[in-house]
Amino acid sequence: MSIHEEDVLGKAYDARLMRRLITYLRPYKPEVVLATAAIIGHSALELAPPFLVKLVIDRYIPARDAGGLSLIAVVYLAVLLGSFALDYVQTWLLQLTGQRIMFDMRMQIYEHLQRLDLKFYDRNPVGRLMTRVTTDVDVLNDLFTSGVVSVFGDVFTLVGIMVMMIWIDWRLAIVAFSVLPLIWLVTQWFRRNVRESYRTVRIWIARINAYLQERITGMATVQLFRREARDFAEFDRIDRTYRDANVQSIFYYAVFYPAIELISAIAAALIIWFGGGWVMMGALTLGSLVASLQYSSRFFRPISDMSEKFNVLQGAMASSERIFQLLDTEVEIVSGSGMRDAGSERHGSRIPDPRSRLGRIAFENVTFAYVPGEPVLRNVSFTVDPGQRVALVGATGSGKTTIVSLLLRFYDVQQGRITIGGVDVRDMDVHERRSMFGLVLQDVHLFSGTIGGNVRLGNESIDEAAVRRAVDAVHAGPFIDRLPQGLDTPVAERGATLSVGQKQLLSFARALAFDPPVLVLDEATSSVDTETELLIRDALKVVMRGRTTIAIAHRLSTIQDMDRILVLHKGELREAGTHQELLAQRGIYHRLYQLQFKDRELVNSR
Amino acid sequence: MWRYRSAFLAGFLCIVATTALTLAGPWVLKYAIDDLTRGVTAAKLRFYAGAILGLTAVGGIFRFLQRRIMIGASRDIEFDLRNDFFARLQLFEPAYFHRNRTGDLMSRATNDLNAVRMMIGPAVMYLSNTVLTFIAVIVLMLSLNVRLTLLSLIPLPILSVAVYFFGAAIHRRFDKIQEQLSTISAVTQEALAGVRVVRAYRQERFETGRFREANTEYVRRNRTLIRVQGAFFPIMGLLMGIGALLVLWLGAQDVINGRMTVGELVAFNSYLMMLAWPMIAFGWVTNLLQRGAASWKRMLEVLAAEPAITDAGANTDVTSRDQIRGDVEFRELTFSYGGTVVLRNISAKLPAGTTTAIVGATGSGKSTLLNLLPRLNDPPPGTVFVDGIDVRDLPLAAVRGAIGFVPQEPFLFSATIADNIAFGVADGAREDIERAAHIARLDKDLSDFPKGYDTVVGERGITLSGGQKQRTAIARAVMTDPKILVLDDALSAVDTYTEEEILSRLSGVMRSRTTIIVSHRISTVRTADQILVLDDGAIVERGTHDELVARHGLYAELYRKQLLEEELAAS
């Protein structure tokens, strides 16, 4: 469970986070300034009506002045229209800017995710990263549209009301404001508690989502093992805890709003009591009393609003902290300083002919561990000359896959170094170097789109004909032609409708289409039937010509074409040489070979 | 939802009380001000002040209860709905999950569910509040001044038209935004799950481009919403303001003409202000209701979808897996998938206690055949039998319970290895887990892990190698003590030496059970009691290894090729 736990984060207000959030406003300065002006203007106009009421009651009613009343009505109408215009401008601008900023932010997160190391992905489940890109950003959007800037408007309204009340009658204002300490106490109590319960709620919703995500993906397994009832019980437990956390937070809201209202009533009662007395003594006009009552009732709405926004603010702080944490995760695997410019600008199709740069690949005393203290490679050294074909052989877990991952620099070595053409890979451009390799993984990952699109991926330089050639070369042509739309047949999510063998063929075609100088096969041939495998080997012979090949396979027969065989055992390179040399050594390779060959001898002996 | 009716009733009563008490406030104010204009005693003033306080205090209690009860109920309903949603998902066949992307289902379970909750909780609460307040306020206003009430309500019809227009427009746009959010999720999910491929093929820019496209479209759709929604509240404010303006203007004239007291005017004004909030809330509530309705529709698509594979046909005495012996038979089975015939006229008997191997090229239908046995896909009636009973007539729990299934690409869960092995049993004893791991030859790997069986497997078992995943899946199947063990190319990432060991250990366990093995390695299948050779969905050969080799057919050809490979390798 711990792997899915969201870290408990989140202060209510964090100046550091806020400053950083505000930097996102920078490109939209004109919009923000305009919106702010509109908010201030709107708040100011909102102050007018109670004052107009006062004028009516104190001046025009006693004077029976109908003309004056009409004048007030006209002013009132002007105020309303102005207020309407400003309100619309403000809402529209803020929401629009919010959307643009969310766009920028989503792009920034996504681009950063595209750069982050594989190590990061090992630690963070996809579901959690998805939350960053979607939910967390949307929470921030609330901050921009209904939160921060309107809090600013609220503050302005509050100050404006205070000024108006003091101006109308400062004694009455003091009477009304005497309840402010109460407000402060209630708000403090509310904030403290809501913060806590909000955190709990976030943790549990994250767990729900992680659990749901995983169970949806693995539903077939759940059903095969009839885990439904127990999974449901577990889900019910998480869901229940989440609900209880929510119910707890309802309590605080349920107390808070009536409390604010009560305080507001206290203020009104005080105004009537004191103000009423003063009116009778002639020390206060009736209109001033009414206007003060109206202002004070308007005073408390922004305060309960602000607390509502406090919730938004808190959510936004928690979300932004998580987002910034992600954005601040350093990319360790970056292009070396020796190269022209670093990574991200040169992806995809613009490959500066990598073949010219390809030299001898060398592992020099490489030691590597995914988890510190548990090395999966120990002091491994070997070289691969351009055009050479090398097989990595060894039992499961011997470290073959890790060698491939290091070669592509998904991870950086902890000791020793890997060089290509004498240059440390850490000093090379990440993309340029990866463009040297064509990778076929044992778990084939297909993207939504068409079959053809999965061969060429985003590489526009691979045209329809090239896709066709690649597909035919790996003998995937026949099965693709049997599909309703051939190469244009859509692929279901993760290629669910294709067999493993078919997916494997497609990933071969993909590697071929990219025409890399180095071909890397990770246990790729192991899931294909003999028939297909022979076809692929056939194709590979063509592809391997003039190409360096590094292949991982358990079946010795598939490495017969290799120039050299490296035998790995428990993370160490134990034997290296040609097939014949290794057999002569009578070591690990010989034993693997004997096992593989036992069948034939048994058959022959019958 | 019906079982929450008492909660909603109680909540509604609280709302009635709250509304009544709130509305009494301005009435007190009216008397206070009228008395002020006529002169009043301090005691009376104190009484008015006290009345306002008392009314608010009692109202506050009801307000507290109202929120507690109604929002609480909405959380309860949300809880039930989420559980129902999950329970429903558990019923769906794999094909359903092929049709519906994970990201999309997730979005329904999160965003849509939240919108639905907002609809039944806050929206219902505010709506009741709004409607009650509205009616009561208008009645009170009418009692104060009929003419003024009618005049000040002139903007009302315009308001309802506006609400309707905006509501519909917002609703349409919101739908499209939700759709696009699903697309964003799906695009992200895919790129993140396939991060290795993206990196190796340097598709970062391309994937970013795809994301940018989805993101841009999302913003565009949001902008169309903003344009409409942004006008909503300002228009509400304007129309309400005009009402207030009319009250002040005409009301003041009435006061001048003696048709109304100042206190009445103030109270009237207060009531009108009380209407402003319901009117604005009404727009907001409409919004919530419409979002909720749209989301509810999307949730219903899942909740009301009928699982294709159910126990509906179960009509035998067999109710538990323990009653199953393990005889398997395919009878003239022809099966199509997505319009293509995948299996043709397959007939075979796999008696309990025997091992059957299935051999065939990629795409020849091996996996499809195996998937029909535990009904991951439903076979046509009368084609697949277990113990002589059509699998469609057997309860799913019984037939699946009797089968230990190891798929080509095993899915492991984010839990410890021990938990993954014991996945299919209620409480797996440690020694049983260790025995299963031993059979699957996982024990040695585990002894290398510092935390051993308690090692947590990352999302989708990413920290394990392919072979380790497959062996964990084998241990998981063995753990359930299956009557029928199905290995669907389940050793492809395991080296031959380990494979041999696993198979010999398995044969000890499976002595009296049925074993079905799909493999590409002749070495794996040659000891089987019968071998079925599939080609393009049909069984083209069957027999023992020796028989098939002697027949010089497809199998012999495959065998010859594998021998050839090995001989080539030996040269």
Which chain B residue shows the shortest CA-CA distance from A221? B411
Q: A98-151, pLDDT tens digit by residue?
A: 889 889 999 999 888 888 888 888 777 777 788 888 888 888 887 766 666 667
Residue pair B37/A280 in contact (Cβ under 8 Å)? The answer is no
What type of residue sits at position A130?
M
CB pairs < 8 Å spanning A and B: 511
Chain B hits for A437, Cβ within 8 Å: 200
Pairwise CB contact (< 8 Å): B400 & A226: yes
| Best mutation target, A396, A540, A572, to test chain B (most B CBs within 10 A) | A396
Cβ of A289 within 8 Å of Cβ of B36? The answer is: yes
What confidence score (pLDDT) does residue A214 get? Answer: 84
With H, G, I as helix, E, B as strand and everything else as coil, classify residue A363: strand
Round to whole Å and give the CA distance between B47 and B41. Answer: 10
Amino acid identity, residue B94? P
* Domain-wise residue ranges, chain A: 2-328, 335-436+549-606
- The full set of domains in chain B, from first to last, is 2-303 (1.20.1560.10), 321-408+486-570 (3.40.50.300)
Residues 6+ apart with CB under 8 A from B219: A99, A100, A102, A103
Cβ within 8 Å of A, B 535-564: 546, 549, 558, 561-563
Query: Is B80 at the interface with chain A, CB within 8 A?
Result: no
Tokens 């032609």 locate to A481
Q: Closest approach of chain B CAs to the CA of A16, in angstroms?
A: 28
Q: Give residue A365's pLDDT band: very low, low, confident or very high (50, 70, 90).
A: very high
Over the range A462-478, which residues count as b (16 or more CB within 10 Å of their CB) and which as e? beeebbbebbebbbbbe
The total of other beta-carbon atoms located within 10 Å of residue A373's CB is 6
Nearest to B71 among A73, A84, A250 (CB): A250
**Phi, psi dihedral angles at A563 (to 5 degrees):** -80, -35
Q: Where are the beta strands (DSSP E) in B63-188?
A: none
Residues of B in contact with A53 (CB under 8 A): 248, 269
Q: Is the dihedral of CA A479, A484, A486, A488 positive or negative?
A: negative
Nearest to B413 among A92, A218, A497 (CB): A218
Give the count of alpha carbons within 13 A of A260, CB side only.
23
Instruction: Write down the residue that tokens 């990595």 correspond to.
Output: A392
Q: Using the 8-state DSSP alphabet, how is residue B416 labeled? A: B
- Residue A221 — φ and ψ, nearest 5°? -65, -45
Q: Does residue A354 register a pLDDT over 60?
A: no
Q: How far is B459 from chain A (nearest CA, A)?
A: 6
Question: A365: distance to nearest CA of chain B, Å?
Answer: 22
Q: For residue B106, give the chain A residue with the closest CA.
A: A213
Q: How far is A493 from chain B (nearest CA, A)?
A: 6
Interface probe for A, chosen from B84, B110, B201 (most Cβ of A below 10 Å), is B201
Tell me what the mean pLDDT of segment A53-70 comes to. 86
- Scan residues 151-170 of B and list those with Cβ closer than 8 Å to A: none
Nearest residue, CB atoms, A99 vs list B67, B197, B226:
B226
Least CB-CB distance to A96: which of B226, B405, B466?
A: B226
Q: What percent of chain A has pLDDT over 90?
A: 10
* Shortest distance, CA A565 to any CA of chain B (angstroms): 12
Superfamily of domain A2-328: ABC transporter type 1, transmembrane domain (1.20.1560.10)
- List the one residue out of A50, A268, A77 whose CA is nearest residue A163: A50
Is the distance from CB of B33 to CB of A291 less than 8 angstroms?
no
pLDDT of residue A555: 58
Query: Is there a contact between A272 and B181 if contact means CB atoms under 8 Å apart?
Result: no
Residue A364: CA count within 13 A, CB half-sphere:
13
CA neighbor of B414 nearest in space, from A252, A258, A234, A78: A234
Q: How confident is the model at residue B221 (pLDDT cuts 50, 70, 90)?
A: very high
Would you say residue B461 has pLDDT above 70?
no
Contact B541, B533 (CB under 8 A): yes
Q: How far is the alpha carbon of B349 from chain A, nearest alpha carbon, in Å?
A: 22
pLDDT tens per residue across span A565-590:
898 888 888 888 888 888 888 887 87
Could you tell me which chain B residue has the CA closest to the CA of A119? B463
Q: Do B495 and A606 touch (CB under 8 A)?
A: no
HSE-CB of B332 using CA atoms within 13 angstroms: 2
Return the higher-pLDDT residue of A345 and A213: A213
Instruction: Count Cβ atoms below 10 Å from residue B512 Cβ, excluding itself.
Output: 10
| Residue numbers in A near B189 (CB within 8 A) | 126, 130
* pLDDT tier, B36 (very low <50, low <70, confident <90, very high otherwise): confident
Predicted confidence (pLDDT) per residue in B352-374, tens digit: 889 999 998 777 888 889 999 98
pLDDT in tens, A161-184: 999 999 988 999 998 889 889 988
Are residues A487 and A471 in contact, defined by beta-carbon separation less than 8 angstroms?
Answer: yes
Q: B133 to chain A, minimum CA–CA distance in Å?
A: 17
User: Please, what is the average pLDDT of chain A?
Assistant: 80
Evaluate if residue A339 carries a pLDDT over 50.
no
Q: How far is A104 from chain B (nearest CA, A)?
A: 9
> With an 8 Å Cβ cutoff, is B222 touching chain A?
yes
Q: What distances in angstroms separate CA A249 from CA A259, B65, B429, one per listed residue? A: 16, 14, 40
Select from B190, B226, B359 the Cβ nearest to the Cβ of A447: B190
Which one of A108, A112, A225 would you mutate to disrupt binding with B, by most B Cβ within 10 Å of its Cβ? A225
From chain A, the residues in CB contact with B68 under 8 A are: 250-251, 254
Interchain CB distance below 8 Å, A224 and B233:
no
Orientation angle between helical segments A588-605 and B496-509, nearest 10 degrees: 60
Q: Is the pLDDT of residue B330 over 90?
A: yes
List CB contacts of A388: < 8 A, sequence separation 6 or more: A548, A549, A563, A564
Q: Which residue's structure tokens are 């939802």?
A: B1
Between B14 and A135, the more confident residue is B14
Does this model's pTM top 0.80? My answer is: no
**CB–CB of A286 and B37 under 8 A?**
yes
Maximal CA-CA distance, chain A: 127
Q: What is d(CA A85, CA A41) in angstroms, rounded to the nearest whole number?
A: 10
Residues in chain B: 571
Query: How close does chain A come to B487, measured CA to CA in Å?
Result: 13
Rounded CA separation B238/A79 (Å): 10
ipTM, interface predicted TM-score of the complex: 0.81
How high is the pLDDT of residue B369? 92
pLDDT of residue A5: 39
The region of weakest confidence among B95-104, B320-329, B407-416, B562-571 is: B562-571
Contacts A501 to B, Cβ<8 Å:
361-363
All residues of chain B having their beta carbon less than 8 Å from the beta carbon of residue A268 are 25, 52
- The vertex-A381 CA angle with A545 and A412, nearest 5°, equals 90
At residue B568, φ and ψ (nearest 5 deg) are: -60, -45
Range picked from A506-510, B123-127, B344-348 for highest mean pLDDT? B344-348
CB A456 within 8 A of CB A462: yes
Q: Whole-number mean pLDDT of chain B?
A: 85
Question: Which chain B residue's Cα is nearest to A603?
Answer: B546
- Of B100, B104, B79, B254, which is closest to residue B178 (Cα–Cα)? B104
**CATH no. for A335-436+549-606:** 3.40.50.300
Model confidence at A472, pLDDT cuts 50, 70, 90, reads: confident
CA distance B65 to chain A (A): 7
Task: Please report residues of B whose CB lies closer than 8 A to that of A600.
Answer: 563, 566-567
Show the tokens assigned to B322.
């323990």
Q: Is the pLDDT of residue B397 over 80?
A: yes
83-102 in chain B: CB under 8 A from chain A: 83, 86-87, 89-90, 92, 94, 97-99, 101-102
Which residues does chain B have within 8 Å of residue A293's beta carbon, measured at their own beta carbons? 29, 266
